[in-house]
Amino acid sequence: METKSNNPPSQTHTERQQVDRSAASPVHLPITLGTELIAEIVNLNLRIRSVLAGMDGGRFLLIKLSPNDLMGTFRSEMVTRSPVIVKFQYKDTVYSFNSEVLNIVSNPCKLMFLAYPSKVEEFKARPDSRHECVLPAMAMLDNEILDMVIVDISREGCQCFIKASGARGEALNALIRVDTDLDIRAQFPGTEERFRFTGKVRSISKDVDRIKIGVMFEKISPEVKAKIDGFIALISEVKTKG
């Protein structure tokens, strides 16, 4: 249920909504089994990756921890009742809620029981927002591998810096033109997988040792679009809390 107000809508880049339910009516979570979660154990200042393994609405959530996560080395009694901040992404919205650790199971896999939330916050990015970031990426251009950094991003495109100095820089300056097609691969936070998307160069700015290009996305798959939307929503949330 959205909180209503008589005030005019804010003209910021982020629209923030809040959802509340009474104990008799558990808050609705737009989440399915296998959804990736980021859980922050507040007392330990530790963020862990996990996926939703099950839930009992109004009572608890069951999350499966990454096999490589150090959280599995802690005994249940060390973190039981510890406050937890959980975040997950659905479409272009990031959801965040407070919880606490109910129990930890180590065998046959690392599982954590969390208290079911009573309130959920939503952070939704506007579609035309541009957000500064530092996102390592690479691109293929005429069999040439380009190491780059994405320095701002929106749903429609991004801006990138490419190192280009010396003879190689001169060759890249001659190669990259407006309307050049790029095959980009980027690794978003919270995943070890590189996601592939294509774009077309729309602007170029050349310095002595680098090239700055503006790229418009083209033919983005639903999976990659969801990753981009989630990344933008996370950046929006950080800016809002800042």
Residue 149 has pLDDT above 90, yes or no: yes
pLDDT tens digits, 13-64 = 444 444 444 445 678 888 888 888 888 888 877 778 788 999 998 899 999 9
Which whole number is the average pLDDT over 198-207? 86
Letter for the amino acid at 52?
A: L
pLDDT higher at 153 or 21? 153
Give residues with Cβ within 8 angstroms of 200, minimum separation 6.
179, 180, 181, 182, 215, 216, 218
Element (H, E) at 240: helix 222-241
| 10 DSSP β-pair partners | none
C-beta atoms surrounding 25 within 10 Å: 10
Q: Please, what is the Cα angle at 157 between 131 and 178, to 5 degrees?
A: 130
Tokens at 203, concatenated: 């602007």
In this prediction, residue 75 carries a pLDDT of 60
- 2 pLDDT above the threshold of 60: no
What per-residue confidence (pLDDT) applies to 23?
Answer: 45
Residue 8: its pLDDT value, please? Answer: 43
The pTM for the full model equals: 0.51
Structure confidence at residue 70 (pLDDT): 53
Average predicted confidence (pLDDT) for the chain: 78
In order of their start, the domains of the chain are 14-125 (2.30.110.10), 131-241 (2.40.10.220)
For the ranges 11-15, 119-123, 145-149, 182-186, the lowest mean pLDDT is seen at 11-15
Between 239 and 155, whose confidence is greater?
155
71: left (phi over 0), alpha (psi -120 to 50) or beta: alpha
Sequence-distant contacts of 159-162: CB under 8 A, at least 24 apart: 159/212, 159/213, 159/214, 159/215, 160/212, 160/213, 160/215, 161/210, 161/211, 161/212, 162/210, 162/211, 162/212, 162/213
> What pLDDT, on a 0 to 100 scale, did the predictor assign at position 15?
42
- Give tens-digit pLDDT for 72-131: 456 656 777 889 999 887 766 778 999 999 998 888 888 899 999 999 988 765 555 678
Task: Mark 50-63 as b/e (b = at least 16 C-beta within 10 Å).
Answer: bebeebeeeebbbb
Helix (H, G, I), strand (E, B) or coil at 99: strand
